[in-house]
A and B are shown apart, each in its own frame.
Chain A
């Protein structure tokens, strides 16, 4: 006998009921939902960026740059040590991951002094204890100095964490709706921006490291376009933001940096009505700024952003209040963005955009519409076909299919999984494949009837015999879905999710719901009702 205890029946119905409750909100608008009683869930399926419109950006922190910059800092320290100890060196050069030079002799004391140098060079953020973070190798006369793997890992990891924070601040400043900013792997950042289909402004904001420095202009010489390569020792040549043909020679020493800023706001110069950014320093920054401006009245002071001179106004008087303003011939949007960048802080290394995928809102809406349309037509076709082949059993399988779809929707809503366009395809595929479990059972039942079993025994044996086949068959598809889930990201991952959910719900409904329905009617069923010829 196919016997269902009352507890079993109630729990099957309860599971289905709960799934239905969670599916229901998807058929109503947000406003309608708010007028519903509180016991009805209000969560709708979470739509992927390809359906609601939005932008996906994959960024990578330029880790080579981080190490390169640290090596450059190390460069001058090592030279100083060598000079101090009267060591003759030649061919001193920086590569991407080490320093190299040639020496005649290289005593161990010097080697030790350089190793110790690295501890103070860790720049406080990196707590490495007393251990040196340098690897010093000597091969014949060539010495190469590089950072230890641990140090590199730590430096990169810190830079990525810091970048993540700054990216978050910059995007938050723009007031984007529910952005998602996540770290991926060791050096990548994924940004999801719902509702933004043209991320140009965000890309521009993220494309700048926004390193702000104030440096004195070197007035001892003028930039000579005919002999452009030479800058006096301790100075550098930097391009001008406003005029491509003009270059500044500025002293390398950074007098005050952006890290001392506490605020930056866009505004307008009251006299010229030109857009400006006004800023305020913290106490340390204010005192440094005050001292420099006091000592250099009458000299030009360069405001430098990412190695480009924005402007170099002449200091008219000492600025002791700790605040000032930047005007550089920009428009109000640029002033606004610059203020955002300065408030959010500088990135420790440049960000590289590896991938961008943006979908406009109407393509998303079109996709949803097309998907719904395809789902309904596919659904009706399958339902009619099943009734045609299996008659009464087919009708039961169709009811199970409807419940199945509600369950997929309910589970998606409950777990707030993301529904994407391939995800919709997964649901439609489920419509086609979900009947398989029932088909396997029905075919078994028919075989049993043919071999002379009574209807009720045929149903019971049919279920028993089909069980392992159904499990084997569905596990193979599930394995494929799981592999896809781990390999894919974004929209395609949505497909693996709906496919996997569909497998679970179809096996579940075949073994509980359809079985329950069939068991109720099994006694009264005749072979003709299950799609068999009577004279078979």
Chain B
């Protein structure tokens, strides 16, 4: 039986250390982003992706050489889940949208003649320069819009100090997620944007639960030292934070292990986001309130009263 009630952990004691830790991670993320950038998938970079399955194992190096001799520019070939499944990526061809269409035909013809066994084309995706440009733009706008919407919502429901603290934690989570994709060079594509948006939602969810309790305690213990009060609030919500994170991670791990290759990147981003989001709620969002001079005199009959 797990009972994490009545913990009295001093989370804020090490706040300087965790702030430095977070700052280092943020700086590392920025560094990785500017040094190696993101490994954009065809959604954002344009190009062609073909997933094939064959009956016999294929010697990848030979196939790669063969496809790279087609003068289609850089062609990447990698194993995808099993030895009989390969993912072939062809870079975007210069010369506009219409040209991209020829790539599929050229690669398919070449594969059929190079491989002796039957080739099963499981997936074909072609994204032209116009669409990839739009997708990258709308993805960036969506993330910014989500962060801004959270800022406004928390401002509306709490007050600006909370809103600022929550958004700093949120941006921290987004930067760290983009950072981990820069460092690992895992493919960054459209579903990853979806994952980041969900992380924004989830991290906010976690932060709101802690903040809600902070606000309640601000009312209840008017004379309590803010650091003690923040510690109390984090401890009081700790078992909920842990239980919800564990159930979410259990579901996500199951998806990561059994859900197939296609959504592995997406699930990885989500798992990372849940871990980072939970961490930031406790070690970034809540301690920040210490520095933001939160209002102590809450009107108990106001519209934001949670005990109404």
Contacts and interface: CB of A to CB of B under 8 A. Distances in A.
B220 to A, nearest CB: 12
B226 interface: no
B212 A468 contact: yes
Interface string A492-536: 100110010000000000000000000000000000000111001
Interface string A141-169: 00000000000000000000000000000
Nearest to B203: A476
A439 B198 contact: no
Interface stretch (B8-16, B59-67, B126-134, B283-291): B126-134
Interface in B151-206: 153, 157, 190-191, 193-194, 197-198, 200-202, 204-206
**Interface SS majority for chain B:** helix
B70 interface: no
A469 B243 contact: no
Contact of A439 (B142, B244, B249, B257): B244
Contacts of A492: 190-191, 193-194
Contacts of A18: none
A536 B5 contact: yes
A17 B197 CA distance: 33
Nearest to A481: B201
B236 interface: yes
A475 B153 contact: yes
A45 B267 CA distance: 23
A476 B208 contact: yes
Given A358-B125, A532-B3, A378 B255 contact: yes
A534 to B, nearest CB: 10
A428 B198 contact: no
Contacts of A536: 3, 5-6
B98 to A, nearest CB: 5
A218 interface: no
A357 interface: yes
A375 B209 CA distance: 27
Interface stretch (A32-40, A290-298, A314-322, A360-368): A360-368
B270 A443 contact: no
Interface stretch (A85-93, A105-113, A236-244, A429-437): A429-437
Interface in A413-441: 421-422, 424-425, 428-429, 431-433, 435-436, 439-440
Interface in B223-262: 236-237, 239-240, 243-244, 246-255, 257-260, 262
Interface stretch (A127-135, A171-179, A330-338, A385-393): A385-393
A484 B251 contact: no
B250 A432 contact: yes
Given A389-B2, A422-B194, A446-B5, A428 B251 contact: yes
B209 A377 contact: no
Contacts of A24: none
Contacts of A467: 306
A483 interface: yes
A60 interface: yes
Nearest to B261: A370
Nearest to B239: A443
Interface in B101-127: 101, 104-105, 120-127
Contacts of A370: 258-260
B124 A358 contact: yes
B145 interface: yes
Nearest to B2: A389
Contact of A469 (B53, B248, B306): B306
A473 B251 contact: no
Given A429-B252, A536-B3, 15 more contacts: A360-B121, A362-B120, A363-B122, A367-B262, A370-B259, A374-B260, A386-B247, A421-B260, A422-B194, A433-B247, A477-B201, A484-B198, A492-B194, A532-B3, A533-B1
28 contacts: A353-B97, A353-B101, A354-B130, A357-B125, A360-B121, A363-B122, A371-B260, A374-B255, A374-B258, A377-B258, A378-B252, A378-B253, A379-B251, A382-B247, A429-B270, A433-B244, A439-B244, A469-B209, A472-B212, A473-B205, A478-B201, A480-B201, A484-B197, A487-B138, A487-B139, A487-B193, A488-B193, A536-B6
Interface of A: 50, 58, 60, 197-198, 200, 203, 207, 352-360, 362-363, 366-367, 370-371, 373-375, 377-379, 381-382, 385-386, 388-389, 391, 421-422, 424-425, 428-429, 431-433, 435-436, 439-440, 443, 446-447, 450, 464-465, 467-469, 472-481, 483-484, 487-488, 491-492, 495-496, 499, 531-533, 536
